[in-house]
Amino acid sequence: MLRALLISLSKAEWAKHLVTRWQVAWRVASRFIAGETLEEATRVIRVLNEAGLNATVDHLGEHTTDVVEAQRATEATLVSLEEIERQHLRANVSVKLSAIGLTVDPVLCRQNLERIVVRARELGNFVRVDMEDSSLVDATLELVHWCHDQGYTNVGVAIQSYLYRSEQDTRHLVSRRVPIRLVKGAYKEPPEIAYPHKRDVDASFDRLTDILLQGVQEAGIPQISEDGRFPPIPAIATHDEARIRYAQERARHLGLPNTALEFQMLYGIRRDLQQELVRAGYPVRVYVPYGTHWYPYFMRRLAERPANLWFFISNFFRR
240 lies in the binding site for ligand FDA (CB under 6 A): yes
Site track 129-148 with ligand FDA (rule: CB under 6 A), x = hit:
-xx-----------------
Radius of gyration of the chain (CA): 18
Q: Are 304 and 265 in contact (CB under 8 A)?
A: no
Out of 266, 277, 299, 309, point to the residue binding ligand FDA (CB under 6 A).
266
Strand 155-160 relative to strand 180-183: parallel, antiparallel, unpaired? parallel
131 is in an annotated binding site: yes
- Residue 86 annotated to the active site: no
How many residues bind ligand FDA, per CB under 6 A?
A: 23
Question: Quick one: which segment of 107-115, 142-150, 236-244, 276-284 binds ligand FDA (CB under 6 A)?
Answer: 236-244
Q: Answer yes or no: 165 catalytic.
A: no
Considering only residues 271 through 300, tell me which ones interact with ligand FDA, judged by CB under 6 A. 287
- From 208, 297, 304, 309, residue interacting with ligand FDA (rule: CB under 6 A): 304
What would you measure as the largest C-alpha separation in the chain, in angstroms? 56
Q: Does 183 bind ligand FDA (CB under 6 A)?
A: yes
What DSSP line would sit under 116-176, residue for residue?
A: HHHHHHHTT--EEEPP--GGGHHHHHHHHHHHHHTT--SEEEEEETTBTTHHHHHHHHHHT
Q: What is the four-CA torsion angle of 285, 286, 287, 289, rounded to 10 degrees?
A: -140
- Residue closer to ligand FDA, measured from CB, 59 or 184: 184
Strand partners, 91: 55
Beta carbons of 129 and 155 less than 8 angstroms apart? yes
User: Between 92 and 131, how does the x/- string for binding to ligand FDA read (CB under 6 A)?
Assistant: --------------------------------------xx
Nearest to 287 by CA among 276, 299, 279, 297: 297
- 184 interacts with ligand FDA by CB under 6 A: yes
Residues in touch with ligand FDA (CB under 6 A): 130-131, 158, 160, 183-187, 237-240, 264-266, 269-270, 287, 301, 304-305, 308
Instruction: Detail the residues annotated as belonging to a binding site for FAD.
Output: 131, 160, 184-186, 198, 238-239
